[in-house]
């Protein structure tokens, strides 16, 4: 009969033993019973971790973002659970550029005629005429606007060189506010040149061609600029370019280098030359507590780790909880970049779990062989075998599923680029549920999978217990399958590292998951 969840959120994991004859390789020994291990992983334990994450956020300004006390408390909680479960835990420190917009910015024309421009609030809940750029400096200044090599009307797309050379600021009056146009160089270069010329602030407006007229929601890349910098729409910039314009520009920000930590947990069992690695990002965005994104993935692998921590396995297990994913996969990138060559070779596969409880969910499996999704290459050799394990789990439960691309938006990206077979699960973010998916999974077509994505409402109420339980069963099955496998995915194939261009990781386009425009 088709699997149904029933009242208990642990029902999915109770059914996982059905999958073992299909997916599980011969264990190293008859003890322990892998099926029993899997059944000990229950969704009620995951919900307990999620409640703890919510409590931490509530006590720390409403979020668990990297570089904040909320993240540090989440880190310490996860590390404590893992140590108690028998793991060797490492807190891997790294520095990263922290940015926070503490209150809504201000852009007002005070002359020749007063006008107040609509702001984009820090939580991004609406888009105004302007937006404070990520890594903008702080300040509240009123000064004349000075145009910098503007192309009005605009020429060909991406042709303006406004502010790209120091020579553009010849004759600039220190203390004025520089008005710059989007174009050939980065926002950071424009802002740094304006700062070097003595500007009290900078306004960078969109270039003006079709598709390049909306408000710029951009980033300066790192905290090198101390003056306030905002992005604006083409219409706003065109107005401010009029002769005699004076504006008040305010940005209330923190932009600095901070230290954060990945939490890395190694089991004491298994062959250290055959590492099975599971990961999830632990950080939220500043706007909210991040219970689905990504408390759900973190809590799930934490509960699986608890069950496997004191159980002998054939292969070594590693569980990682990444920091600063929301700022561009920084924690996972740091880990992979600093992994010794032998440790990289020992890592036989990586499983990623980012948002597995979306309230308007679809059950998505990362498409290891590019057979059922479009737009991105297949994963490294062996990724297709990982995909099949998840498929067998859902097929055994007669539960439908869909494929999803490796599009570079989560922490599998650095592992794929290093040639490591990868896979995982996802229930959707700001993308829109299709009518076909509504037929498969219920919910509401035409609405976001997670309507609280990157918002303050990503709380405990923003979790689908059914999606969480089904995915937890799949995670537990995959973890045990690969923990005891005699042959791991990709073995027998020669993995090849993929170039960064093979995965959509460029921060030069807005991807909706922590990145913004850079130019």
Q: Rounded CA gap, 156 and 67, in Å?
A: 41
Phi, psi of 333 (to 5 degrees): -65, -40
Close Cβ partners of 98 (under 8 Å, ≥ 6 residues apart)? 66, 67, 223, 254, 255, 256, 257, 258
Close Cβ partners of 231 (under 8 Å, ≥ 6 residues apart)? 130, 131, 133, 187, 204, 205, 206, 215, 216, 217, 218, 517
| Residue matched to tokens 């440790």 | 343
Close Cβ partners of 156 (under 8 Å, ≥ 6 residues apart)? 209
For CA atoms 401, 402, 403, 404, the dihedral sign is negative
Residue 383 DSSP class? H
Closest CA to 68 of 310, 283, 341, 290: 283
- C-alpha distances in Å from residue 396, one per residue of 11, 36, 257, 391, 401: 14, 17, 49, 9, 12
Q: Is 158 left (phi over 0), alpha (psi -120 to 50) or beta?
A: left
Six token digits for residue 219: 């980033």
Show the DSSP H helices in 418-492 as ranges: 435-441, 465-484
Q: Rounded CA gap, 201 and 175, in Å?
A: 8
Query: Count of CB atoms within 10 A of residue 230's CB?
Result: 28
- C-alpha distances in Å from residue 343, one per residue of 272, 339, 383: 9, 6, 19
Catalytic entry in 325, 385, 417, 437: 325
Residue 408 DSSP class? S
Omega before residue 462 within 30° of 0, cis: no
Query: Which uninterrupted H or E stretch holds 276?
Result: strand 271-281
Residue 475 half-sphere exposure toward CB, CA atoms < 13 A: 41
CB of 98 within 8 A of CB of 324?
Answer: no
Q: Rounded CA gap, 12 and 92, in Å?
A: 34
In 80-234, the DSSP E strands lie at 88-111, 115-116, 130-132, 139-147, 177-181, 201-205, 229-232
Query: Count of CB atoms within 10 A of residue 391's CB?
Result: 18
Q: Answer yes or no: 325 catalytic.
A: yes
Kindly list the catalytic residues: 325
């Amino acid at each position: 009969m088709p699997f149904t969840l029933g009242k208990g959120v642990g029902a999915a994991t109770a059914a996982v033993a059905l999958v073992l004859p299909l997916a599980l390789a011969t264990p190293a020994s008859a003890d322990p019973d892998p099926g029993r291990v899997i059944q000990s992983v229950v969704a009620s334990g995951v919900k307990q971790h999620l409640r703890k994450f919510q409590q931490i956020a509530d006590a720390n300004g409403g979020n668990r973002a990297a570089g904040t006390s909320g993240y540090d408390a989440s880190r310490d909680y996860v590390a404590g659970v893992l140590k108690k479960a028998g793991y060797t835990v490492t807190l891997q420190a790294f520095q990263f550029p922290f940015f926070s917009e503490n209150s809504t910015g201000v852009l007002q024309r005070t002359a020749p005629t007063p006008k107040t421009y609509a702001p984009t609030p820090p939580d991004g809940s609406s888009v105004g005429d302007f937006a404070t750029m990520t890594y903008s400096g702080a300040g509240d200044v009123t000064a004349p606007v000075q145009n910098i090599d503007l192309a009005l009307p605009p020429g060909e797309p991406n042709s303006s060189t406004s502010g790209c050379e120091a020579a553009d600021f010849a004759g600039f009056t220190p203390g004025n506010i520089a008005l710059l146009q989007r174009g050939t160089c980065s926002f950071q270069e424009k802002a740094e040149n304006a700062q070097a010329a003595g500007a009290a602030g900078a306004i960078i407006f969109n270039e003006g061609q079709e598709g390049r007229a909306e408000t710029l929601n951009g980033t300066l890349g790192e905290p090198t600029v101390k003056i306030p910098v905002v992005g604006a729409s083409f219409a706003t910039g065109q107005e401010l370019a009029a002769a005699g314009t004076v504006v008040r520009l305010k940005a209330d920000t923190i932009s600095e280098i901070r230290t954060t930590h990945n939490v890395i947990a190694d089991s004491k069992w298994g062959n250290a030359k055959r590492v099975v690695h599971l990961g999830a990002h632990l950080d939220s965005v500043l706007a909210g507590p991040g219970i689905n994104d990504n408390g759900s993935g973190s809590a799930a692998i934490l509960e699986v780790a608890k069950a496997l921590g004191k159980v002998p396995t054939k292969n070594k297990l590693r569980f990682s909880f990444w920091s600063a994913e929301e700022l561009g996969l920084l924690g996972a990138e740091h880990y992979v970049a600093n992994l010794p060559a032998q440790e990289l070779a020992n890592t036989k596969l990586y499983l990623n779990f980012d948002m597995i409880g979306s309230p308007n969910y679809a059950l998505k499996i990362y498409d290891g062989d590019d057979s059922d999704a479009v737009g991105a290459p297949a994963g490294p050799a062996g990724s297709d075998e990982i995909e099949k394990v998840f498929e067998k789990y859902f097929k055994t439960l007669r539960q439908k599923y869909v494929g999803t691309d490796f599009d570079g938006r989560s922490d599998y990206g650095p592992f794929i680029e290093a040639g490591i077979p990868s896979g995982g699960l996802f229930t959707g973010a700001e993308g829109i549920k299709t009518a076909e998916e509504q037929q498969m999974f219920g919910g509401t077509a035409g609405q976001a999978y997670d309507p609280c994505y990157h918002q303050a409402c990503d709380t405990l109420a923003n979790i689908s217990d059914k999606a969480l339980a089904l995915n937890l069963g799949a995670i537990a099955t995959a973890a045990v399958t690969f923990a005891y496998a005699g042959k791991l995915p990709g073995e027998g194939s020669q993995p090849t590292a993929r170039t960064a261009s093979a995965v959509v990781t460029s921060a030069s386009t807005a991807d909706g998951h922590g990145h913004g425009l850079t130019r």
